[in-house]
Structure 1
Amino acid sequence: MKEILLILLLQLVYVPLFTLRTIFLVKNITALAAILGIVEMLIYVFGLSLVFSGDQSFAAMVVYALGFGIGIIFGTKIEKKLAIGYIIVTVNTQTKNSELVDTLRGSGFGVTLYTGEGRDSSRHRMEILTKRNREEELLAIIEKFEPKAFIISYEPRQFKGGFLLERMKKNARKNSSF
């Protein structure tokens, strides 16, 4: 029974590490991905050796598979909590909502505003680049001021210059002076 519980525990550690390693690779955080990969492989080999040692019980194989599935759920939850990286949120509204723009800027979001032509009237589009861990906060502010806004969010692969990058550099200089 101890072996079965150990197999489950190993999978619940291995799969979230696998998930995080994959995300770090996609986000080009290769050194951390390599370290996680080493730990991940040690756990993987040890877990498989438990499953395939001795009588190779059907229960051990089922627990191994169940642990993998549950580990995917845990890995996803951990990644959502970490919210690594940035998103771009595009907000389309019917009116130029200055109160919304001012509130977003006052909350530290960089907002670029565009005006365009829709089929029936003019449209106003805001582009907002922010850290992923602020996405819920951003969406709540938008919802409060523009509940009918059309919103698209996506992750940029890379970016250069602009408001957010300048602020990050300024904060890094400020923090390094302590």
Structure 2
Amino acid sequence: MKDILLILLLQLIYVPVLTLRTIFLVKGMSTYASLFGVIESLIYVFGLSIVFSGEQSVVQMVVYAVGFGLGIVVGSFIERKLAIGFTTFMVNLPAKNESLIADLRQGGFGVTVFHGEGRDSIRYQLEILTKRNREDELFRIIEDHEPRAFIISYEPRKFKGGFLLKTLKKAKKTS
């Protein structure tokens, strides 16, 4: 029974570490990724050695697999809480909403406004880059002003310059 609980615990640590390693690698943070890789491999080898030592118990193998699945849930939860990186929102509006734009800018969001032609009318598009940990706040502001806005978000891989980077650099200097 002790081995089964240890296997489950190891999987609940191993998979979130694997998730974070992958995220750091994708985001180009190789130092963190390599550190998590070392931790991941140690846990992996230790966990497998328990499962495959002596008699292989079907229960141990099932607990190993179930722990892996539960670890994915835990790893996803941790990743959402850390909210590493940035998101770009493209917001399409039927009319230029000056109060929305002003509230976003007052809230510290950099907003670029584009004017375009839709199928039936003139449309306005807002492009907003924000840290992922502010996504929900941004979405609420947009919803409060424009409940029918068409919103697309995506994660930019690289960017240079602009309002957000200037703001981040100023914040670093004052800390």
**Counterpart code for 1:41:** S
- Structure 2 distance, partners of 1:90, 1:5, is 47
- TM-score, scaled to structure 2: 0.99
Q: How far apart are 1:109 and its partner, in Å?
A: 0.4
Give the secondary-structure state (helix, strand or coil) at the position aligned to 2:102. helix
- Structure 1 distance, partners of 2:119, 2:44, is 56
**2:112 matched to 1:117?**
no
Residue 104 of structure 2: aligned partner: 104
**Counterpart code for 1:165:** L
**2:27 matched to 1:27?**
yes
Q: How far apart are 1:23 and its partner, in Å?
A: 0.2
Residue 74 of structure 1: aligned partner: 74
Instruction: Supply the RMSD in Å over aligned alpha carbons.
Output: 0.5
Residue 168 of structure 1: aligned partner: 168
Identify the range of structure 1 (165-174 vs 84-93) with the bigger mean alpha-carbon deviation. 165-174
Deviations 1:76-132 (A, max 9, x none): 111001000000000000010000000101111000001111111000000000000
- Structure 2 distance, partners of 1:8, 1:59, is 11
Give the secondary-structure state (helix, strand or coil) at the position aligned to 1:54. coil
Residue 83 of structure 2: aligned partner: 83
Q: How far apart are 1:170 and its partner, in Å?
A: 1.2
Give the secondary-structure state (helix, strand or coil) at the position aligned to 1:159. coil
Residue 61 of structure 1: aligned partner: 61
Residue 157 of structure 1: aligned partner: 157
**Counterpart code for 1:17:** V
Give the secondary-structure state (helix, strand or coil) at the position aligned to 1:48. helix
**Counterpart code for 1:92:** N
- Structure 2 distance, partners of 1:118, 1:39, is 52
Give the secondary-structure state (helix, strand or coil) at the position aligned to 1:78. helix
Residue 141 of structure 1: aligned partner: 141
Residue 131 of structure 1: aligned partner: 131
- TM-score, scaled to structure 1: 0.97
- Structure 1 distance, partners of 2:95, 2:128, is 17
Residue 38 of structure 1: aligned partner: 38
Q: How far apart are 1:169 and its partner, in Å?
A: 1.2
- Structure 1 distance, partners of 2:6, 2:15, is 14
Give the secondary-structure state (helix, strand or coil) at the position aligned to 1:158. coil
Structure 1: give runs of 5+ residues left out of the alignment.
none
Structure 2: give runs of 5+ residues left out of the alignment.
none
- Structure 2 distance, partners of 1:56, 1:131, is 47
Q: How far apart are 1:168 and its partner, in Å?
A: 1.1
Q: How far apart are 1:134 and its partner, in Å?
A: 0.3
Give the secondary-structure state (helix, strand or coil) at the position aligned to 2:95. coil
